[in-house]
Amino acid sequence: MFQPSKRDGVVVAGFDGSGDGQVLDLDTAVKDGVLGGFGGGIIGADVGEKLDLKKMTEELDLPEIPSVFICPISLEPMQDPITLCTGQTYERSNILKWFNLGHYTCPTTMQELWDDSITPNRTLYHLIYTWFSQKYSLMKKKSEDVQGRVSELIQTLKKAKGQARIQALKELRQVVAVHATAMKTVVDEGGVSLISSLLGPFTSHAVGSEAIAILVNLELDSESKTYLMQPTRISLMVDMLNEGSVETKINCTRLIEKLMEEKEFRSESISSHRLLVGLMRLVKDKRHSNGILSGLSLLRSICLHKQVMSLTVSIGAVPQLVELLPALEPDCLELALFILDTLSSLPEGKAALKDCRNTIPNMVKLLMRVSENCTEYALSILWSVCKLAPEECSSVAVEAGLAAKLLLVIQSGCNPVLKQKSSELLKLCSLNYTDTIFISKCKLTRTIQ
């Protein structure tokens, strides 16, 4: 016969040699995956710590928990399971709430209860506890493994050169991408300043792209950001933005945007032809939509700096953005329109908008099409352009169906400022037409609809 031994509060049968396949104890049951949870792993040797079930459940936050552990009322794992006379088990607090509401039935079977006693389901409790403990121990061990690996990699990086350096960076990047805990370890062990120091005037693309890929996902403090903002490092990022893979380009874009949030940021750093031309190239690359989004996002942040707005117009960004509009997704559209609207506040921006043939038709199409913000920006742009050259532009706009769209805006639930602007624009456009002709232009035709 077997001798059950007590080990760390859990009944364990001599599984080391018995091997007769019988489920004799809690640990084996859970270990072998009888309950449908994830199998395998190390038997919870640390259970003796008397871990709090609630704490473990929250920390683990696992998506797949065995269904028998879940309370039918809250659909959350149970902390204090109790069983009714119908044999159904619920979380104590939930079922008590149910009773307090005046119900005397079993929620799942709908039967009326013939016995109002509630029995704590100790068996189930033990199972839940053991299962979570195992998962928790596993997670802790993995986390320590990860932390250990990260430490190792950082030590390697302090000395490695050439290919070894690139390899270490690559591995670190992968570890950080998979394990959230790794990020914290990197920061704690001084990884940020170490990796940042690798970025210099002679940094190769291979090293630079890996370094940026790591840094962009980390929490950077003020000091690190200031360090990264120095011209040589920004210059390196701009280089990689121009020459790297899409992933590298996006990483550089996101990192620069992060750095711009710092209040010490000087707009001189981003006042660079190479940066803006590179960004526009990214934004125009139709094959990679996430590139377009991050590119536009950075461009938007950049355009908030007055000094750089003029430069943006000078590299021909306006017509390029206008041409892009029809193909953009809604979130990108809003960004692009915001940028164009901001640039329209400059005289050269207005001129560029006017000179581009497709500005007016594209803007008219976008009114009341996508979102209120888009409508606001499109309207503002149309306003700028029409004010600049009223005769020329308003006729083009009206022919493109502007009048009908403006009426839509006025009749819609948009904010009053928008409606006000629409009616002003409508008035401006109507100046060149007789009343009858203008009214005919206001009709919504099929194409405009």
Partner 1 sequence: MGLLCSKNRHYAEADIEENAQAAEIERRIEQETKAEKHIQKLLLLGAGESGKSTIFKQIKLLFQTGFDEAELKSYVSVIDANIYQTIKILYDGSKEFAHNDVNSSKYVLSSENKVIGEKLSEIGSRLDYPRLNRELAEEIGELWKDSAIQETYARGIELQVPDCTHYFMENLQRLSDANYVPTKEDVLYARVRTTGVVEIQFSPVGENKKSGEVYRLFDVGGQRNERRKWIHLFEGVTAVIFCAAINEYDQTLFEDEQKNRMMETKELFDWVLKQPCFEKTSFMLFLNKFDIFEKKVLKVPLNVCEWFKDYQPVSAGKQEIEHAFEFIKKKFEELYFQSTAPDRVDRVFKVYRTTALDQKVVKKTFKLVDETLRRRNLLEAGLL
Distance CA 121, CA 36 (A): 19
52: Cβ contacts below 8 Å, ≥ 6 apart: none
> How many of the chain's residues bind partner 1 (CB under 8 A)?
21
What does each C-alpha distance from 167 to 36, 80, 123, 146, 158 come to in angstroms? 39, 49, 50, 17, 13
The pair of structure tokens assigned to 383 is 């306003």
* Identity of the residue, 114 or 202, whose beta carbon is nearer to partner 1 in the bound complex: 202
217 to 236, contacts with partner 1 by CB under 8 A?
231, 235
Region of 27-35, 86-94, 111-119, 271-279 interacting with partner 1 (CB under 8 A): 271-279
Q: Which of 17, 40, 201, 413 binds partner 1 (CB under 8 A)?
A: 201
Q: Which of 140, 142, 273, 427 binds partner 1 (CB under 8 A)?
A: 273
What DSSP assignment string belongs to 411-435? HSS--HHHHHHHHHHHHHHHTTS-H
Which x/- pattern, by CB under 8 A, does the window 312-351 give for partner 1?
A: ---xx-----------------------------------
Q: How far is the CB of 407 from partner 1 (least distance, A)?
A: 39
Q: Which of 245, 289, 290, 415 binds partner 1 (CB under 8 A)?
A: 245
The pair of structure tokens assigned to 187 is 């920061």
Task: Assess contact for 299 and 277: CB atoms under 8 A.
Answer: no
Q: How far is the CB of 201 from partner 1 (least distance, A)?
A: 6
Task: Assess contact for 136 and 16: CB atoms under 8 A.
Answer: no
Distance CA 56, CA 357 (A): 62
Distance CA 315, CA 158 (A): 41
The pair of structure tokens assigned to 264 is 């010490």
Distance CA 118, CA 139 (A): 35
* Identity of the residue, 315 or 351, whose beta carbon is nearer to partner 1 in the bound complex: 315
Verify binding: residue 123, partner 1, rule CB under 8 A: no
* Identity of the residue, 123 or 267, whose beta carbon is nearer to partner 1 in the bound complex: 267
Q: How far is the CB of 162 from partner 1 (least distance, A)?
A: 5
Q: How far is the CB of 249 from partner 1 (least distance, A)?
A: 12
Q: How far is the CB of 159 from partner 1 (least distance, A)?
A: 16
* Identity of the residue, 238 or 363, whose beta carbon is nearer to partner 1 in the bound complex: 238
Region of 71-79, 267-275, 370-378, 399-407 interacting with partner 1 (CB under 8 A): 267-275
Q: How far is the CB of 205 from partner 1 (least distance, A)?
A: 6
Q: Which of 109, 155, 204, 289 binds partner 1 (CB under 8 A)?
A: 204
90: Cβ contacts below 8 Å, ≥ 6 apart: 71, 72, 73, 78, 81, 82, 84, 98, 107
For residue 105, count other CB atoms closer than 10 A to its CB. 14
For residue 246, count other CB atoms closer than 10 A to its CB. 14
What does each C-alpha distance from 324 to 174, 296, 316, 393 come to in angstroms? 34, 11, 13, 21
DSSP 8-state assignment for residue 113: P
* Identity of the residue, 331 or 348, whose beta carbon is nearer to partner 1 in the bound complex: 348
Verify binding: residue 160, partner 1, rule CB under 8 A: no
Which H or E element spans position 119? Answer: strand 119-120
Region of 56-64, 78-86, 204-212, 377-385 interacting with partner 1 (CB under 8 A): 204-212
Verify binding: residue 162, partner 1, rule CB under 8 A: yes
Q: How far is the CB of 328 from partner 1 (least distance, A)?
A: 21
Q: How far is the CB of 211 from partner 1 (least distance, A)?
A: 15
Region of 12-20, 71-79, 274-282, 383-391 interacting with partner 1 (CB under 8 A): 274-282
Cβ-in-10-Å burial (0-12, 13-18, 19+) of 67 comes to exposed
Q: With CA atoms as reference, report the closest residue to 349 among 376, 322, 379.
A: 322
* Identity of the residue, 271 or 412, whose beta carbon is nearer to partner 1 in the bound complex: 271
Region of 33-41, 47-55, 110-118, 239-247 interacting with partner 1 (CB under 8 A): 239-247
DSSP 8-state assignment for residue 284: T
* Identity of the residue, 235 or 423, whose beta carbon is nearer to partner 1 in the bound complex: 235
Which x/- pattern, by CB under 8 A, does the window 297-316 give for partner 1?
A: ------------------xx
What are the phi and psi torsion angles at 36 (to 5°)? 85, 5
Q: With CA atoms as reference, report the closest residue to 343 among 321, 370, 373.
A: 321
Q: How far is the CB of 319 from partner 1 (least distance, A)?
A: 10
Q: Which of 3, 100, 117, 163 binds partner 1 (CB under 8 A)?
A: 163
Q: Which residues of the shown chain bind partner 1 in the complex (CB under 8 A)?
A: 162-163, 201-202, 204-206, 231, 235, 239, 243, 245, 268, 271-274, 277, 281, 315-316
